[in-house]
Amino acid sequence: MNDALYIAATGMQMQQKSVDTIANNLANVNTPGFKKGRVTFEDMVYREISRLGTGTEAPASLWHGGGVNVAAMAKVFTAGELRKTDAQLDLAIQGDGFLEVVMADGSSAYSRGGTLSVDRDGFLATADGHALKPAIHVGTDAKLISIKADGQVLVQGENESELRDVGRIEMSHFSDNSGLVSLGANLYLPSAKSGDAIYGKPGDNSAGTLAQGYVEASNVNLVNEMVDLMAAQRAYESSVKVIQASDEMLALSNNLRK
């Protein structure tokens, strides 16, 4: 009965993690580019409690479960709906892929796009000021910026009559997106599971293409999240009832000994 208490407690703890993840998904339902989180569980280590045998039958092992544990907490990289904004610095990725950006310490991170900006030196950057890599210089006086589906960037300055080519935005993709580590702010880092970034032109080697004037909406589905929330709540309640029942059985056992 003591085992039942501890096993049920692991169920409560894990369902709380599930509820926390769902709460974060719901909180970011309107965050552009947000990818919902998902928790998967696995049963904990089993232990052999006895071996039984009768007559000529070989002894059979009895195994005792130890509860539940988190197997993985990962992002789900299904595509979100593209929403038209017509803003020239809004950029969405259609399909698989990421934009490489430079962090403050010089290292690289990867973004699913969103609203870009022009930094004080005239380079394209994320809304948080992380410059794209390779660098794309559009100048601080650009009145028109055109980004093609294949990443080509054309710019027209204040005193210019025609668009000029200033470079191409590259696309990065990974062998397993679920292995990426989320930094927040729509930024990710690779891991051993995701593999190193594979670089190329948008549209090549299974990479997505770019859509200027669009932002990718969150991939959170409100109905699915609410269903998952109710399921987690029911599982939590079941674990609570197991603890209550085990406690009552312990109380009865103690009373019998008196």
pLDDT value of position 2? 73
Residue 194 and residue 174: Cα distance in Å, rounded?
6
Place of tokens 């309107």: 30
Closest by Cα among 104, 103, 123, 126 to 113 = 126
CB 109 within 8 A of CB 183: yes
What do you get for the CA distance between the two ends of the chain, in Å? 19
Q: What is the pLDDT of residue 63?
A: 65
What pLDDT was estimated at residue 207? 87
Are the CB atoms for 75 and 180 separated by under 8 Å? yes
How distant, in Å, are the alpha carbons of 22, 166, 171, 206, 220 from that of 11? 17, 56, 42, 40, 25
Quote the DSSP letter at residue 249: H
Could you tell me the two tokens for 162? 């025609």
- pTM metric for this prediction: 0.84
| DSSP-derived pairing of the beta strands 124-126 and 37-43 | unpaired
Q: What is the DSSP letter of 215?
A: E
Structural tokens at position 48: 């052999």
Residue 11's pLDDT is 92
Mean pLDDT by 10 residues, the chain (258 residues): 83 95 97 94 68 56 76 91 96 95 96 92 95 96 96 94 95 94 94 94 90 97 97 95 88 74
Query: pLDDT value at position 213?
Result: 97
Please state, as a whole number, how many other Cβ atoms lie within 10 Å of the Cβ of residue 19.
17
Q: Which residues, 6+ apart, have CB-to-CB distance to 106 below 8 Å?
A: none
CB of 203 within 8 A of CB of 174? no
> Which residue type is seen at 211?
A
pLDDT of residue 246: 87
| Angle CA 144–148–151, to nearest 5 | 110
Q: Could you tell me the maximum CA-CA distance found in the chain, to the nearest angstrom?
A: 99
SS3 call for 114: strand
H-type helices in the chain, by residue range? 2-27, 222-257
Chain centroid to Cα 179, Å, comes to 9
Q: Where are the domains of the chain?
A: 2-77+220-257, 82-216
d(CA 171, CA 111): 10
